[in-house]
Structure 1
Amino acid sequence: MNKAHTIEQITALWTVYHASRSSGTGRGYVSAVVPIASYEAMMERARNYPMFVLPLTRPKDESMQSPGEASISEDPAEFFFLQWGLYPAPLIPQPAPKDDLFPQPRPLVYTDGAGQRNPATSTILLTPLVQYKLHQSYAPPYFAITHYTDFARTHGIVLLQGIITPTSSAAVAADGGAPDGKYMLTQLDAQMLALGVQQFYLPAMDGEGHLAKRSREAADLLHKFHHKPDEFQWESLLKFKAGLQP
């Protein structure tokens, strides 16, 4: 963007763009605008804990459960394996002066006026745990979340884009959606998984400025999953299932 845009304008453009996908239904896409402080806090945990498993609530009337499902209380849950990928930081665009009637493309730079670089771009791939157990690194992702950090230093925001994988029988339309509307996950499932990532990777503070109890428990599960697997208890993970349902 050669012309200066406000945060509100970028947010509106990002939202409208994704709402226009899939023949104007927005199906198969999730989008959001994340404050830079929240993104950097998530990145700190992501670098330390690049893999994890999220529980996703399933309908109560499902009579058959796959190996990747478990039950607690009255609601079953399906586990999804997630993995972060970090990529080089994008260059920082230089907006043209406001009084320039005929702005010319300006070179991109590595740092802003304060000498700060953009954060790394990141992608989160999510697939059912049963698929990951069967295929490991070849498991097909059902949902992919990408964080674009191009406006991190210029506007203090990160653009989030989530894409649900179309079913193998569905051809991809010109606008990126599945023409028959068939995807590996429902729109609600994708939204709940995106919230699950936030629940475990974005530290939440209490009223006194300390890490909230639930956020401490989430951090403890992340640590045990990576460094103390013998102490990791699936039952503790399932307690977070309540936060990942409609």
Structure 2
Amino acid sequence: MHLTSFMRSVLYRGSFALSKKLTQKNIMTTPRKLQEILEDLKGNPYYEKYAEKITELQKNAPEEFSSRVVDMGKSKTKKLEEIKGQQFSQLLNPKKKLAPEVSQTQEEHLDKIMKVDLIKNKSKEEIKEIWEEYHQTKNCIAAVIPSENFKTLEENCVKYPMFLFPLPRTQGYEFIMLQFEKRTAHFTPLLYYQVHNENAPECLTITHYEDFKESKGIVLMRGEYDKNIINAKEAQCLANQLQLYYTQDDKQKQKLLDTFTHHPDTFDHMDLVKEISNISLK
């Protein structure tokens, strides 16, 4: 996931991080320091689950292993308990991007998904039914958005090009970063970025198709997700939050968007957790 310099500055400024301050720790690449990091990892409750893979990687690719551990130490932060278990899967198995062969600046066209000529004369209700039915058997989520709502989303994504959403997990919440690029919304786990920086893989990519925006008053939305990172309900939860923050007239959510963008030093991630209590993962 490509992140702008603005995005990076927000991530590493003041009290924005999960513990309100991202603290970077200088890690020396000495065997002793490396051992200290490994001992710290062993204190993680998820260590046993990944111990065999960790040992295998350390044995077969010691230089790569050392590099990953040291890099992880350099970007270590005060993490919440609920996201600790994510460290090891990312350390050992960085996921590939959803569609690495497609440039992030290259827009996809609706014709690649379905033949527009066959549905352009149908009513918006019929198009909505066809669109939703088509995606029922796909590993993606889909929706139809009224044009007026999409206009609001477009305006807000220019004002607030990036944001953070909490995703409910078994042990609490994992924070997912959002960045807009033209009509596409890119999502990646915050911890992925801390480990992989600009090479952080996306867990969800939402694309909006405007082919019927003027003629039918609707915009088609399609969200492709990496099922190895999130499931359909979690992808839908992120899409719901996107709609609630970027298309609805909610003063509290607008305040959070504004604070995150213009006053990151005063942003409190727990305010996002409070807001998500109204969103269901049905």
Both proteins in one fold, TM over 0.5: yes
Code of the aligned partner of 2:153:
M
Residue 142 in 1 paired to residue 164 in 2? no
Q: CA deviation at 1:243?
A: 2.7
Residue 19 in 1 paired to residue 54 in 2? no
Code of the aligned partner of 2:216:
H
Residue 227 in 1 paired to residue 272 in 2? no
User: What TM-score do the two structures reach when normalised by structure 2?
Assistant: 0.55
Q: Which stretch has the larger CA shift, 128-137 or 193-202?
A: 128-137
Residue 201 in 1 paired to residue 246 in 2? yes
- Total equivalences in the alignment: 164
Work out the CA distance in 1 between the residues paired with 2:196 and 2:280: 27
Give the conservation status (yes or no) of the 8 Å contact 1:53–1:82.
yes
Q: CA deviation at 1:159?
A: 0.1
Work out the CA distance in 2 between the residues paired with 1:16 and 1:241: 28
Residue 79 in 1 paired to residue 175 in 2? yes
Give the conservation status (yes or no) of the 8 Å contact 1:82–1:127.
yes
Name the residue aligned to 2:232: 187
- C-alpha RMSD of matched pairs (Å): 1.5
Helix, strand or coil at the partner of 1:243:
coil
Work out the CA distance in 1 between the residues paired with 2:254 and 2:140: 28
Residue 58 in 1 paired to residue 160 in 2? no
Residue 161 in 1 paired to residue 161 in 2? no
Work out the CA distance in 1 between the residues paired with 2:187 and 2:263: 23
Work out the CA distance in 1 between the residues paired with 2:233 and 2:137: 18
From the two aligned structures, give the one with the greater strand fraction.
Answer: 1
From the two aligned structures, give the one with the greater helix fraction.
Answer: 2
Name the residue aligned to 1:40: 151
Work out the CA distance in 1 between the residues paired with 2:129 and 2:276: 32
Work out the CA distance in 1 between the residues paired with 2:215 and 2:235: 29
Task: Among all aligned residue pairs of Structure 1 and Structure 2, give the percentage whose two residues are the same amino acid.
Answer: 34
Q: CA deviation at 1:133?
A: 2.1
Q: Deviations over 1:75-124 (max 9, x none)?
A: x21100011110xxxxxxxxxxxxxxxxxxxxxxxxxxxxxxxxxxx111
Structure 1 segments, 4+ long, off by >4 Å, are none
Q: CA deviation at 1:145?
A: 0.6
Give the conservation status (yes or no) of the 8 Å contact 1:55–1:244.
no
- List runs of 5+ in structure 2 lacking aligned partners: 1-116
Q: CA deviation at 1:197?
A: 0.7
- List runs of 5+ in structure 1 lacking aligned partners: 22-27, 63-75, 87-121, 167-182, 205-214
Q: CA deviation at 1:129?
A: 0.7
